[in-house]
Amino acid sequence: MNLLIVDDHPLTCQGLAALLSATHQGTQIQTTYSAAQARVALQRLPAPDWIFLDINLPDDPHHQLFKSLCDSTWIGHTILISAEPEHRLIRTALAAGARGFIPKAADPALVLNGFDRILAGDFFVPPELKATLTDTSDGAATTKALSPRLQQVQDLLLRGSANKVIARNLSLSDHTVKEYVSSILAYHGVANRLDLILKLVEHRPI
């Protein structure tokens, strides 16, 4: 497994790298300290399987690296890290398909638990942040924040379509649909399809 850690604090990079390498045998880890270095690293082979990305990088005040990942397949391999959660950016990332968010101040056990859940196919946000991220008075506005592809999947979910039906209708693999469904559930802070329908049914298009 190849990991890329992007953070402007070398101590954070090295600490996270040491923790992950000690607990995941055979892992190759590259650390970069700026958005510019990260862009170069993403062009090299082998490509990283997972990217740990600090949201706030000094050489990227407008989050261009983050936005470029959101517009590419890389976002499905990205885990956000930050000292101070920026809820808007985290919600944007989850809507685009990011696999989770881990605070820099998190206990090592939470970091490892979160990463292991992501490796198992889940999406991870610390429980204490879920309520804040999903607290919105306008469910329709939340829906509009989803990427066009995730919006298509969500529309079919709200119509009761099974994963195989969604895969066939959108020409996607079953595995991709499973990941998209997990992303949508995590984004809305619900555990299953029923909870999603109950939360969004009043905003469902006629």
CATH number at residue 188: 1.10.10.10
Of 110, 132, 154, the last residue of a domain is 132
Looking at the structure, tell me whether residues 123 and 67 fall in a common domain: yes
Write the CB contacts of 7 (distance below 8 Å, at least 6 apart in sequence): 13, 16, 31, 33, 52, 54, 57, 81
Q: Are 35 and 64 in contact (CB under 8 A)?
A: yes
Query: Tell me: the pLDDT tens digits for 35-60?
Result: 999 999 999 988 999 999 998 899 99
Mean pLDDT of 7-31: 94
Looking at the structure, tell me whether residues 120 and 20 fall in a common domain: yes
Looking at the structure, tell me whether residues 119 and 177 fall in a common domain: no
Q: 130 versus 45: which is more confidently predicted? A: 45
Dist CA 173 CA 36 (whole Å): 34
The percent of residues above 90 in pLDDT, for the chain, comes to: 37
Looking at the structure, tell me whether residues 112 and 140 fall in a common domain: no
The pair of structure tokens assigned to 206 is: 């006629």
Of 132, 154, 181, the last residue of a domain is 132
pLDDT, position 187: 82
Whether the pTM exceeds 0.85: the reply is no
Q: Residue 67: pLDDT above 50? A: yes
Q: pLDDT class for 194, splitting at 50, 70, 90?
A: low
Looking at the structure, tell me whether residues 37 and 128 fall in a common domain: yes
Of 76, 111, 132, the last residue of a domain is 132
Looking at the structure, tell me whether residues 70 and 87 fall in a common domain: yes
Looking at the structure, tell me whether residues 36 and 105 fall in a common domain: yes
User: How many domains, the chain?
Assistant: 2
Q: Residue 21: pLDDT above 80? A: yes
Mean pLDDT of 104-116: 92
Looking at the structure, tell me whether residues 28 and 97 fall in a common domain: yes
Quote the domain boundaries for residue 43: 2-132
pLDDT, position 198: 66
CATH number, domain of 22, equals: 3.40.50.2300
Write the CB contacts of 169 (distance below 8 Å, at least 6 apart in sequence): 156, 161
